[in-house]
Amino acid sequence: MKTAILWLATGLVAGGLASAAQPLDAMETGETQSQRDARIAWWREARFGMFLHWGPVSLKETEISWSRANSNPKCPNKGPIPVEVYDNLYKRFNPTEFDARAWVALARAAGMKYMVLTAKHCDGFLLWDSKVDEYNIMHTPFRRDVCAELVRAAREADMRIGWYFSPMDWRDPDFRTERNAAFLQRMQGEIRELLTNYGPIDLLWFDHDGGEAMYDQANTYALVKRLQPRTVVNNRLDLSVGDDNRRILSPFADYTTPEQVVGAYEDRVPWESCMTVSRRSQWSWGGSQDGVKPLETCLDMLISCAGGDGNLLLNVGPTPTGRIAPEQADLLRGIGAWLAQWGQSIYGTRGGPFKPGRFGVSTRKDRTIYLHIRRWPQDVLTLPAIPARIVRSVALTGGQATVRQSEDAIEVSVPAADRQAVDTIVALELDRPARDIPPVDVPVASSSLTTGCKATASNVYQGDAQYGADKAVDGDPETRWASDSGVQSAWLEVDLGRPTAIGRAVVEQAYPELHRCRKYAIEYLQDGQWTACYGGENLGATLDVSFAPVTAQRVRLNITEAADGPTIWEFSLFPPKRPD
């Protein structure tokens, strides 16, 4: 697992099929598209799974594999733990509190439908009783086959189970050398054990490290398909230098794997975002001081993945004793509690037809569209027209939804008191199957006075133009102004071009769950002095305020106290409301 891309730092990026992806070849795979769709149907309907990164490295509370010092110049790891220390951690690894049934029960409580365990990560340690390599769990003080116990517990609970398997082995001295054939024999022998010794395996999750893919892919795929013809396989076995995880390069790969990001809308090629509960976005156990992301953040991951027509594989890192830490377990149960109420809008759905936008996302199933409204741009959410008639609407999360449909648009409103902080769900029942409606973009309909105006800021993230001040006044829901990490105060200024009457402001903050903007003011320049026309604390997802009208040419959002570098999707100003 690579750790260079942080979702909380970089925001949303594309997660669909890259242009270099190859079409399926039925002659090559022995499987038609309809047969493939049927084979992976359970996985697409599941939408939510548990990732588990675990091994002896949990004793050090550092990242799995990447914290190991380099012993092979063909491998990218350059960690701080000396090889002789890292490779001997297994001698002290004794997770006596490991309980496979407890892990599975927690996954079920979280509403997860499948589990993927790091049976082998890049450091080469094996969590099963292997006859290929003695560097495995049976040679620790624990001496129990973790894979066998987890498979047994998963089957008892009707939970789908899969293996993460790193084809790379940074510990193996033959890997990516002139002796690579000897490495391949061992690697394929390990895959044979994993896919032979434990009955049906639902999913195989390969990884890549950005290096050359020397895995004898043709024969490795053939081995997998011969031993487990029904298993779902991700795209990473083929990825090599310069490739990324949003590409499919082989007809034997079933889905793409955006990492630490929520994938963009893609309903043609299956995809799954792998992300972490760790506050620091670490995969393996990071220690008691690591902490977890807020529940709202993790729910946003799940909802956004479903709305983009993808899955979420959410990672936990068990402790050295084999427990899943209380803070991680509590977070998962919180997700499960939400899904117990609103899971009908996630499980078995497809994304769309309204593509993800600043308002939120939509999902669809049978004759119903589920609007997941995360941010209200104004009192009324305006959506594009669709070629179907809405016969009924329900505010699933409570209250009364008012929906007006015309030839040009759909208008949705819910009283402010009935809107939910995490997700207001409105179900639209149609007169025809929702899947038949083509995907449609949701434009940012705005009469904002700031759109297209000159904007400046006190600080821009790493001086990168893609996070410049202008991105907060461009009307684009996918762009934002961002400041450097650690910045504790910042301002964003817009020049309206001429003195203009204003009486209302809308500020849409990126990642409001991080509580970055603690104190702020909307100010205008008057006689050379900045004067506040509105101020407040703890800027939320969307601030929509009216104030006594003023006339100004230069206006700014002044964030006077921040927990970390502020980042804003859009800063909009409007004329004063006319009297009724």
Q: What is the pLDDT along the chain (580 residues), one digit of tens a residue?
A: 543 322 322 232 233 333 233 333 444 778 999 999 999 999 999 999 999 999 999 999 999 999 999 999 999 999 999 999 999 999 999 999 999 999 999 999 999 999 999 999 999 999 999 999 999 999 999 999 999 999 999 999 999 999 999 999 999 999 999 999 999 999 999 999 999 999 999 999 999 999 999 999 999 999 999 999 999 999 999 999 999 899 999 999 999 999 998 998 999 999 999 999 999 999 999 999 999 999 999 999 999 999 999 999 999 999 999 999 999 999 999 999 999 999 999 999 999 999 998 889 999 999 999 999 988 866 789 999 999 999 999 999 999 999 999 999 999 999 989 999 899 999 999 999 999 999 999 876 556 899 899 999 999 999 999 999 999 998 877 789 999 989 999 999 999 999 999 999 989 888 776 788 999 999 999 999 999 999 999 988 788 889 999 999 999 999 999 999 999 989 999 898 765 4
d(CA 192, CA 432): 47
Predicted TM-score of the model (pTM) = 0.83
Q: Which amino acid is at 246?
A: R
- Each domain of the chain, given as residue ranges in start order, spans 7-336, 350-436, 454-574
Around Cβ 42, how many Cβ atoms within 10 Å? 15
Q: Are 491 and 560 in contact (CB under 8 A)?
A: no
Q: What CATH number was assigned to the domain covering residues 7-336?
A: 3.20.20.80
Encoding tokens for residue 562? 């921040």
Q: Which amino acid is at 66?
A: W
Encoding tokens for residue 183? 């490495």
For residue 181, what is the enclosing H or E element?
helix 180-196
d(CA 251, CA 249): 7
Encoding tokens for residue 405? 């449909």
Is domain 350-436 annotated with CATH 3.40.50.1370? no
Around Cβ 158, how many Cβ atoms within 10 Å? 9
d(CA 99, CA 345): 32
SS3 state at 498: strand
The CA–CA distances, whole Å, from 152 to 17, 129, 215 equal 35, 15, 30
Q: Are 290 and 316 in contact (CB under 8 A)?
A: no
**Same fold across 7-336 and 454-574:** no
d(CA 46, CA 216): 31
Of 203, 231, 469, nearest to 313 by C-alpha is 203
SS3 state at 434: helix
Residue 394, strand partner residues: 427
Of 544, 570, 541, 1, nearest to 299 by C-alpha is 541
Residues 6+ apart with CB under 8 A from 503: 546, 547, 548, 549, 550, 574, 575, 576, 577
Q: Are 282 and 295 in contact (CB under 8 A)?
A: no
d(CA 148, CA 197): 8
Considering only the top CATH level, what class is 454-574?
mainly beta
